[in-house]
Every structure is written in C-alpha cells, then in structure tokens.
Amino acid sequence: MQALIWLPVDHTALEALQALLRERDVFTTGYEHLGVDAYVPATYLHDQLLEETSFCFRYDRNVLSRLVEVVQGKPLREEHRVACGIQALAQITEAVVEPNIALYELGTGCSHDDAEEQLALFRRIDHTHPQHWADLATGLVDGFDDDQLADWQGQSIKETNYAKTLNHWRASYAACLKIASLELSAMGAEAKMLELIRWMEEDLCFLVPGMILANRYLAPNAKRNGLFKQLRSADRNKALQGVRNQAWDLTLIYAWMDDFRNIDATGRIVILASLDRGLHAIARWVLMAIETEDHAASAQQQKMEEEFLGSWGEKRGRRLLESWQAAQLRRSSHPERKRVLTLEDMREAERALEEELLRSS
C-alpha cells in the first residue's frame, strides 16, 4: 500500500530538527530493539495508517517547563530548542501529548492552581502550528511572538486534583530517601546496597527501577551526573528537594511502564520524552525487563547479572546478585511474610527517612 502524506513543516526544518533530537537522544519508545528510527515522522504515520496504532508522547517536567519558558519570553538555550523540537515532532505525527506527571509534580510542589494554569497554557502550545516550534528548534528564529500562540477554546478540562500525592510517587520517594540516606552514611559501598536490598524486602517492596537507580548511584565508579542534586548541600531542604526530584523521575518511569504494559489493551504506543539521559537509561533497562516477562526467567536473571557485575565487578557483583535473588525467593516462597503497607505506614516511613536526611550532611 502506498500513501501520499502531507507534513505541516518544511523539509529542511524537518531534517534539522530530526538530527537535533536524535543527537540529544530524547525518546524511549520500545522501537529501539527493532532498529526503527524514532525521530522520523514516517515511523509513526506508517503504523497509524497500516496498523491503526495510535501514539502518545509522555512528557517529563523538563520538557514541559522549557516550552512554557519559551512562550513566556525567556532567553533560549539549547534545552529550550530541544523541547521545541520534541513538540514539533509530536504535532507532526498527530500524536497525543500527555503531561500529567509533570503537572502533578508542579501541583504538589507549588499548587493545584499553578498546575491548572500551566495545563491551560500547554493546550494553547499544543494547538500552535508546528512550524513555529520547528523554526525555534532549528535556530531559524530566536524568540516566540505572543501572536503566534493559538487561542485554543476546546472542551473544559476534566477536574483533576494535581496537588494529590500519587501512590507511585510515594513508593518512589521512600526508595529515593533510603538511597540518599545510605549514600550519606559511613557504610561501605557494598554494605549500602545490601542494606537497601534488606530494606526493600522487609520494610517496603521490591522496586526494580529504584534498585537500578541505586546500583548506578552507589557503585564506586558510578557516573552520578544529575542524580540526587545538592544532596550534600548545607541547606538540607535543598537536599530534600533533590530527592523529591529524583522520586519524580522514577514516578514518570512507573507511569510509562504502565503505558507499555497496556499496549495490547489500548492499541497505543507511548513515547517517553525527556531531556534527562539518566532517566532514559533506567527506562530502557526496565523496558528490556518488561519485554522478557513472558519469556524464560533466566533471561531476566541474566539482565540483573549484567547490571550488578557491570557496576561492581565479578566478585562483589556476584554477591549482590545472589543477595537480591535470595531476597526475592524468600518473598515469593513465603507470601505470608509480605508486609501489607497502609497509607499511614508509608507516611511514617517518609517522616522517619526525611528526618534522617535532614540531620545528615
């Protein structure tokens, strides 16, 4: 079947923004293992036409906030241009954009009204012609004119409490608080990981993205750029804010994991869009783990083995792997030992971990 497709962006700008986004590596799609180029609109339009597949771009807070800054007239930096490129591609492919996790992050950190105001502004952004975003992304223009922003008058926005605490965020926050406290402790690196495994087994639950984050943060030679920002700041509230930001990264990954698992039911492929390469690294590891869920358990075990041994070397990595596997086996073999956590249990754990972090430096 052949089809003639009209694209609302000129060819030169389209090629330039594709190159920009590909170089910055801003998408995790599920296409990676197929060798399909996620930065070419035809990838999406082909599946929409022939497979009746729909697409959604799930935005990280760093993408949404950069777009808002652009229309507010802030000076353009590289990250603003990349965010504009993401927005252009999302509109060119006629995909839905889902910014809800970014809005919950804003709503809990500021207020529900702030999140609603930003959502209303984003709806106007999302209805503005994509050529404007492409021109900004490729440097053809240096700023955004107010009269370019669409006057969107659509359906009323569904009532949502953006100031509420999400369950995924609560669990992610507890895990990030624990990782941060362990980092600041006097324990050796391997002992920190063993304590985290014990804590997940006995006090919380097994959070695979949290464990991958810890493994890549607590290992002796870990590349920590961008992780747990200002953890050692003299202002302990700044350290706590850095932990909260890290928890939102995990929350976004959990939301995207749910999207990926529901592909068969929804017929919708969700692309994770973020400027954070560390977030993408964890998301892609989780993606490969999800894809092996229906295959031999040995495939998943091999992935965990590669993760631990790659970060810790043969001897220590093997010990950590065996500890992780033993903890999971104990939990699965004795489900009666699984602790049922109430909301108050989680809140109490958060309070205790926050106090510990605020006392440390």
Per-residue pLDDT tens digits for 180-204: 999 999 999 999 999 999 999 888 7
Question: What mean pLDDT is predicted for residues 115-124?
Answer: 95
Task: Pinpoint the alpha helices (H) of the chain.
Answer: 11-24, 41-50, 61-71, 78-92, 100-109, 112-126, 130-138, 167-184, 189-202, 208-218, 236-261, 263-266, 277-291, 297-333, 343-359
**When comparing pLDDT for 118 and 159, which is higher?**
118
Residues in contact with 259: Cβ distance below 8 Å, sequence separation at least 6, in sequence order: 56, 58, 266, 268, 270
pLDDT in tens, 213-228: 999 999 988 888 789 9
Question: What mean pLDDT is predicted for residues 251-261?
Answer: 92
Rg (CA), the chain: 22
pLDDT category of residue 97 using cuts at 50, 70 and 90? very high
pLDDT of residue 267: 84
pLDDT of residue 352: 92
pLDDT category of residue 233 using cuts at 50, 70 and 90? very high
The one-letter code for the residue type at 152 is W
pLDDT of residue 124: 95
pLDDT of residue 130: 95
Residues in contact with 130: Cβ distance below 8 Å, sequence separation at least 6, in sequence order: 8, 9, 87, 88, 91, 92
pLDDT category of residue 152 using cuts at 50, 70 and 90? confident
Q: Could you tell me which residues are beta bridge partners of residue 269?
A: 55
Report whether pLDDT(290) > 80. Answer: no
